[in-house]
Chains A and B, each alone.
Chain A
Amino acid sequence: MKRLSIVFLLVLSGIACAGVEYRKFASPEQQQAYENLTSELRCLVCQNQTIADSNAELAADLRRQVYEMLQQGKSKQDIAEFMTDRYGDFVLYNPPFKLKTGLLWIGPVVFLLLGLIAVFLFARRKKTAEKIEISAEKRQRIRSLLEKGDQS
């Protein structure tokens, strides 16, 4: 039964995505908060989707939870805290900066810097390679060779 209804919902979801959940908000700000929150919380079943995007049952339950807490007048901060208390920082798509998440935040900058340093070193090495000293004697020979080349 459950499986059948999931298949049915999957078929339906393409057509009726927008109309499945209808929620009433007290104010546009509240609706905005709801939309922001649901698109910043990770669905833990299908980990690369937000709970706004996901059709998983858990995502629906969490959307309901967010909606109810907003109705109770809870702030975005309160709701984010409620979620991390239960599911950990992983539930946030925008995790706070702390020791455990440090690599996540600093990593890209570190890699960018490493790349820049590598490019810099590479470019410098090339420049020095071009500046090979040529003795006056060799210079003379090169010139005469070139002139000969022109004559022939």
Chain B
Amino acid sequence: MLKYILPLILFIVLAVFLALGLNLHPSEIPSPLINKPAPAFFAPKLQTPTEKLSPTDLKGKVWLFNVWASWCASCRSEHPILNQLAQQKAALIVGLNYKDESKAALGWLAQLGNPYDVSIMDQDGRIGIDWGVYGVPETFVIDKQGVIRYKHTGPVTPEDVQQTFLPLIAKLQAEN
């Protein structure tokens, strides 16, 4: 009897592991920065490069930090969703223009609309390294205390906005 049942059990165990494996997303690496203070930067603004922005300027506000670039194809698909989110004015949206040329970046915003309250430039990718950025687009949610509370890797979908971002922003806005 065991002779017949054992292979069956082995098969089921293997099938379960393979099925679980199919639903894993190994390209999404959990960020160690969650619940840590937002890494510091002091970077020129895209539109007015003489002015600089630091995360301390945003203390007391809930903000999204969206990593984007004009050369990034999935940023293009994400862009209209960010534009819609910006219209709701649920939180500040800060852009990190990652490893981009400012001319191309400004052209992109002029052409597709600008969802960002402000964008800063990171031409050599150093701010990206500090934030553990490994793919564009990425979106962080930072609370009023300047702590990173959530990170989304890859383009934000309308479902993500409805199910994750808006509820989280509402919760963070209610905190002190």
> Which residues of A does B touch, CB under 8 Å?
2-3, 44-45, 47, 57-58, 61-62, 65, 84-88, 90
Closest to B30 in A: A88
* A3 vs B104: C-alpha distance when bound (angstroms): 14
- Please indicate the chain A residues that have their CB under 8 angstroms from the CB of B135 in the complex: 44-45
Q: Cβ of A85 and Cβ of B125 under 8 Å apart? A: no
Q: Cβ of A87 and Cβ of B132 under 8 Å apart? A: yes
Q: Cβ of A88 and Cβ of B32 under 8 Å apart? A: yes
- Please indicate the chain A residues that have their CB under 8 angstroms from the CB of B71 in the complex: 2-3
Contacts A86-B129, A90-B29 aside, 11 further interface pairs with beta carbons under 8 A come to A2-B71, A3-B71, A44-B29, A45-B135, A57-B125, A58-B125, A61-B125, A86-B32, A86-B131, A86-B132, A88-B32
CB < 8 Å: which of B27, B124, B128, B129 contacts A47?
B27
Using an 8 Å CB-CB cutoff, how does the interface string of B97-130 with A read, 1 for contact, 0 for none? 0010000000000000000000000001110111
Q: Does B58 contact A (CB under 8 A)?
A: no
Known contacts being A2-B71, A47-B26, is A88 close to B134, with CB within 8 Å?
Answer: no
Q: Cβ of A88 and Cβ of B29 under 8 Å apart? A: yes
